[in-house]
Amino acid sequence: MRFPEISIENLRGFGYTEDEARFLYVVAIHSGYFTARQFLTFTGTKSGDRSMAFTQKVIGKGHATARLLLRNGRVYHLFSRLVYRAIGRENLRNRREHGAEHIRSRLMILDFVLAHLDYTYLETEQDKIHYFVGQLSVAKQSLPTKCYTGAINKHATNRYFVDKFPMFFGPHSSVVNFTFIDPGWDSLKSFDNHLFAYMRLFGALREVHLTYVATRPTRFKAAEEMFLSMTDRPSKIDPSEEVLHYFRLRKAWEEKQYALFSNEDIELLNKFTQQFAKHPCAERYPAWRDGQVSTDLIQSLCRDITPPRNVRFHTELVDGQAALFEAKPSRKTNQEPQATVKTASSKTFSPPFSSRFTEEQKEVSEK
């Protein structure tokens, strides 16, 4: 994970140590919520005094609030605009208050990230758009999208990747890995909806790797079967059609038929030029342009050299601070997951949670 020097220095300017500043950066980018135990995990210490000093500091500065959960446990919400502004992320939605299930998923995300600080993450919505649209030439319409309408002016705005689940590259991998965070649903309906939202993007990729993150392995097998049934199929991209589209655009440009080009066509030609610069079929362009080889031959050649689709499903258990949310938290186990998936809809949390999840401290106004 990257820690921009300017962001860390800005946070240290508030009076935080190097470790504290780095931890706050991780929290702000990936979660918005944290526990004292997660802070100790990040710093590699076991001292309760150190975590207490840190949480008192972040609350005393008006940068976070605390909530009381089960077993007198506390979860902290990093909400201060000053903190997010210091790292150049003033408009991150992590600043906002959220419901219990959302908080639990955020803590799970933080557990996952803390366990994999050596990964390189696509941290923001713009990072993800730039990677898929700018680098992989995926159509923007294929990205998971949600439309928001303003309450006052009724202006509609499209937002992408609103789930904000971690998206990363492993230490020695150039393939992006998606994640799904399961905070303890009683069915796979949420996962089914997630896959549906990502289907067009998955269909546009040659390789689809997904890590299913949960606090227990109960649904791992069923989730894998669902994932493979929906994604382990030929890519919807026909490489021959893309190559031929590139050939046609390139020929028209070389013949100076500029009136035929829209701004989108020019952008697409530039992307194709980079995308197919080293593609074996690109060597056939002069012969195709001069009518020496047929379109059918180009299509056949492109299909023959297309690499097979690579779909992988991974699983990972995290603690998820379960003791803060469940009256009887289950311990993590490596036993064989159950194949049966419950379909009944019920709430994630037991009654004791809803009655004891109360705000301990009111939000402190910024100075």
pLDDT at 106 over 80: yes
174 and 196: one domain?
A: yes
User: How confident is the model at residue 366, as a pLDDT?
Assistant: 44
User: How confident is the model at residue 361, as a pLDDT?
Assistant: 42
Task: Tell me which DSSP letter residue 135 carries.
Answer: I
> Is 144 within 8 Å of 198 (Cβ atoms)?
yes
For residue 66, being part of any structural domain is answered with no
180 and 153: one domain?
A: yes
202 and 271: one domain?
A: no
pLDDT at 136 over 60: yes
For residue 228, being part of any structural domain is answered with yes
Among 35-44, 67-76, 165-174, the minimum mean pLDDT is found in 67-76
132 and 280: one domain?
A: no
Choosing from 271, 304, 337, the residue where a domain stops is: 304
Mean of pLDDT values over 136-158: 81
User: How confident is the model at residue 307, as a pLDDT?
Assistant: 61
188 and 174: one domain?
A: yes
Among 142-151, 198-207, 228-237, the minimum mean pLDDT is found in 228-237
Give the chain's radius of gyration (CA, Å): 24
> Is 29 within 8 Å of 89 (Cβ atoms)?
yes
pLDDT at 327 over 70: no
210 and 330: one domain?
A: yes
Most confident of 102-111, 280-289, 299-308, 317-326: 102-111
Position with higher pLDDT, 322 vs 273:
273
For residue 96, being part of any structural domain is answered with no
Number of domains in the chain: 2
Domain interval for residue 192: 120-236+309-347
Dihedral (C-alpha) 339, 345, 350, 355: value to the nearest 10 degrees? 160
User: How confident is the model at residue 72, as a pLDDT?
Assistant: 67
Mean of pLDDT values over 311-334: 75
pLDDT at 20 over 90: yes
**The dihedral of CA 183, 185, 190, 195: what is its sign?**
positive
Please provide residue 156's backbone torsions phi and psi, each rounded to the nearest 5 degrees.
Answer: -90, 135
User: How confident is the model at residue 268, as a pLDDT?
Assistant: 84
Among 66-70, 137-141, 150-154, 259-263, the minimum mean pLDDT is found in 150-154
Q: Could you give the CA distance from residue 275 to residue 69 in angstroms, rounded to a whole number? A: 52
193 and 325: one domain?
A: yes
For residue 2, being part of any structural domain is answered with no
Most confident of 156-160, 173-177, 282-286, 346-350: 173-177
Indicate the residue type of 359.
E
pLDDT band of residue 192 (cuts 50, 70, 90) is: very high
Q: Quote the percentage of the chain above a pLDDT of 70.
A: 81
Helix axis angle, 239-254 relative to 263-275, nearest 10°?
A: 120
pLDDT at 336 over 60: no
The CA distances from residue 59 to 79, 86, 167, 360, 363, in Å, are 10, 17, 30, 12, 9
Choosing from 304, 334, 357, the residue where a domain stops is: 304
User: How confident is the model at residue 100, as a pLDDT?
Assistant: 80
User: How confident is the model at residue 37, as a pLDDT?
Assistant: 92
pLDDT band of residue 243 (cuts 50, 70, 90) is: confident
275 and 223: one domain?
A: no
Most confident of 91-100, 164-173, 237-246, 301-310: 164-173
Choosing from 304, 326, 357, the residue where a domain stops is: 304
313 and 167: one domain?
A: yes
Question: What is the secondary structure of 7-54 as a DSSP string?
Answer: HHHHHHTTT--HHHHHHHHHHHHHTSEE-HHHHHHHHT---HHHHHHH
Angle at 244 between CA 242 and CA 245, to 5 degrees: 65
pLDDT band of residue 348 (cuts 50, 70, 90) is: very low
274 and 220: one domain?
A: no
Mean of pLDDT values over 228-255: 80
146 and 256: one domain?
A: no
User: How confident is the model at residue 241, as a pLDDT?
Assistant: 81
Q: What is the pTM assigned to this prediction?
A: 0.73
Tokens 């038929």 found at: 257
User: How confident is the model at residue 342, as a pLDDT?
Assistant: 35
pLDDT at 354 over 70: no
For residue 55, being part of any structural domain is answered with no
Mean of pLDDT values over 57-75: 88
Tokens 């605390």 found at: 66
Q: Quote the percentage of the chain above a pLDDT of 90.
A: 48
User: How confident is the model at residue 183, as a pLDDT?
Assistant: 87
User: How confident is the model at residue 204, as a pLDDT?
Assistant: 82
**Average pLDDT value over all residues in the chain:** 83
Cα–Cα nearest to 111, from 49, 224, 177, 26: 26
> Is 341 within 8 Å of 188 (Cβ atoms)?
yes
For residue 315, being part of any structural domain is answered with yes
For residue 115, being part of any structural domain is answered with no
pLDDT band of residue 349 (cuts 50, 70, 90) is: very low
202 and 224: one domain?
A: yes
